[in-house]
Amino acid sequence: MAVEGGQVLASGGLETLQLAGGWDCYPPCLFTLVLALILSAAATLSCSYSGFSSPRVEWKFAHGGDSQLVCFNNKITASYASRVAFSLNGITFHSVEKKDTGMYTCMVSEDGGNNYGEVNIQLVVLVPPSKPTVSIPSSPTIGNRAVLTCSESNGSPASEYSWFKDGVLMPTDPKSSRAFINSSYVLNQKSGELVFDPVSASDSGEYVCEAQNGYGAPVKSEAVRMTAAELNVGGIVAAVLVTLILLGVLIFGIWFAYSRGYLDTVPEQGVESGEQMADGAVGDEVNSSVFLTPGSDPGVFLPGLLWNTSKLTLL
């Protein structure tokens, strides 16, 4: 399949642009030829010219703010060498791909001279949409905002989206249909976003998204059910009560541990002999665990039962 593009004509230093359909203009020319091709088809972008003794031909590709050279000084660049062939009358794609969609500019100039002409060709590679994927909240709360999204990435040109509820097509303006007059939503067909603000009980149902781009048959997503639910006040109260109970148990546990001395960190002081204890200053308090024989003089240490005294006052 070969598609003819525009022609760049030059004679005696006056350049004329001739596009398909017989349109002529003098540079700078605002006409752009739009070509639509099926994926994997062969395509020739034609750019014929005359009046140049030593023509220098360049092709530039631009898409989404980025640009690169396809042909420089009558030679195909390395990134296109395996897919594109050059001739003095244009460039030929052996098999176009989706990434080839964009604006191509043919620029012809006299090598070392002042003659110059160019033509733009917008190439659109047609790819049918793929099955869209959706994101739908299963149980949004009544009165809150609910966002449903739909997208697919294969279609060229970019797909537009429609939504169906329980098999009925949703209009962009809900007030225009008796079936959706009680709904409050905004539908963006370009992005595929469907926003309920707020969502109501009547919005519960089975939702399907459809993608179409004018090429191939429209494609629908899987059906997903959304059920708008009332605010669970009882659940919130129960959660608050459980939280307070757990907090009370935690506070009681900390208090109990302190009251029993489980959390005290009192360093032990070693006592080598009862004689050293007796030599201490009167009224000093000693923290220790000592062995005392019941009924014996505190100044005399004898083997016996373990008396665990946190404070021992020497008189």
Q: Which of 45-49, 59-63, 310-314 has the highest mean pLDDT?
A: 59-63
| Beta-sheet pairing, 32-38 with 116-126 | parallel
Which of 64-68, 213-217, 236-240, 304-308 is least confident?
A: 304-308
When mean pLDDT is compared over 1-5, 11-15, 161-165, 298-302, the highest value belongs to 161-165
Both structure tokens of 115: 């003659």
Q: CB–CB of 212/160 below 8 Å?
A: yes
First to last CA, the chain: 117
Residue 10, pLDDT above cutoff 80: no
CA angle 183, 189, 195 (to 5 degrees): 35
Which whole number is the average pLDDT over 254-270? 68
- 76-102 in b/e form (b: 16+ CB < 10 A) is bbeebeeebebeebbbbbeebeeebbb
pLDDT for residue 308 is more than 70? no
Backbone angles phi, psi at 186, to 5 degrees: -125, 125
Q: Rg (Cα) of the chain, in Å, rounded?
A: 43
Confidence of residue 249 (pLDDT cuts 50, 70, 90): confident
Confidence of residue 257 (pLDDT cuts 50, 70, 90): confident
| CATH superfamily name and code, 133-226 | Immunoglobulins (2.60.40.10)
pLDDT tens, residue by residue, 194-241: 999 999 999 999 999 999 999 889 999 999 999 999 876 667 777 888
Residue 312 confidence class, pLDDT cut points 50, 70, 90: very low
Higher local confidence (pLDDT), 82 or 22? 82
pTM of the model: 0.60
Residue 140's pLDDT is 95
Q: What CATH number labels 7-126?
A: 2.60.40.10
Looking at per-residue confidence, does 15 or 150 come out higher? 150
Residue 13 has pLDDT above 60, yes or no: no
Do the beta carbons of residue 267 and residue 287 sit within 8 Å? yes
Strands (E), 138-222: 146-151, 160-165, 168-169, 185-188, 193-196, 205-212, 219-220
Average pLDDT over residues 182-194: 96
Query: What residue spans define the domains of the chain?
Result: 7-126, 133-226, 234-264, 266-315
161 within 8 A of 132, measured Cβ to Cβ: yes
CB 132 within 8 A of CB 221: yes
Provide, rounded to the nearest whole percent, the portion of the chain with pLDDT above 90.
Answer: 46
What's the pLDDT score for residue 184? 93
pLDDT given for residue 258 in this prediction: 80
- The string of pLDDT tens digits covering residues 126-146 is 999 999 999 999 999 999 999
Dihedral angle at the C-alpha atoms of 96, 98, 100, 101, nearest 10 degrees?
120
Burial of 26 (0-12, 13-18, 19+ CB in 10 A): exposed
Q: What is the DSSP letter of 268?
A: P
- Residue 89's contacts (CB-CB under 8 Å, 6 or more residues apart) are 46, 47, 48
Position 39 confidence tier, pLDDT thresholds 50, 70, 90: confident
Report whether pLDDT(274) > 50: no
Q: Which two tokens stand for residue 307?
A: 């008396």
- The distance between the two most distant Cα atoms of the chain, rounded to a whole number of Å, is 134
Q: Which of 239, 228, 192 is nearest to 213 (CA)?
A: 192
**pLDDT over threshold 70, residue 55:** yes
Higher pLDDT, 230 or 292: 230
